[in-house]
Amino acid sequence: MSINKRKAMHALPPLPLPAFVLHPYTALFIAAVHVYLSYGHLSKLFGGEVKWEHIWKGFGALAGVYVFAALASRSFARRSGPLQKDPLMRSHG
């Protein structure tokens, strides 16, 4: 595989998601919804109601939290740029 093809592959978004989902605040909201869904299923699971449904939905929602939190943090990091651009991080001298 040539270098140009590898660069082109990394330029694409990692998931085929609509553009509004890649906005950091939207991704955080979706991650929060996944936390809520995960809590609902895992609380039933750990409360004694052991069903396959609660296992896969609870841990699947936790995986969704991870994915959307990673998308949000990646977007926030891209927007903030390097630390040198932050006026609070510049040395005064």
Please check whether residue 32 is in contact with residue 66, taking contact to mean a CB–CB distance below 8 angstroms: no
User: How many structural domains is the chain composed of?
Assistant: 1
11 in a structural domain: no
Task: State the CB neighbour count (10 A cutoff) for residue 44.
Answer: 16
The proportion of the chain whose per-residue pLDDT surpasses 90, expressed as a percent, equals 37
Span 22-35, average pLDDT: 90
Angle at 32 between CA 31 and CA 34, to 5 degrees: 65
Question: pLDDT tens-digit profile of 43-88?
Answer: 999 998 899 998 999 999 999 999 889 888 887 777 766 554 545 5
Q: Return the pLDDT at 93.
A: 46
Q: Return the pLDDT at 81.
A: 60
84 in a structural domain: no
* Domain of residue 65, residue span: 21-79
32 in a structural domain: yes
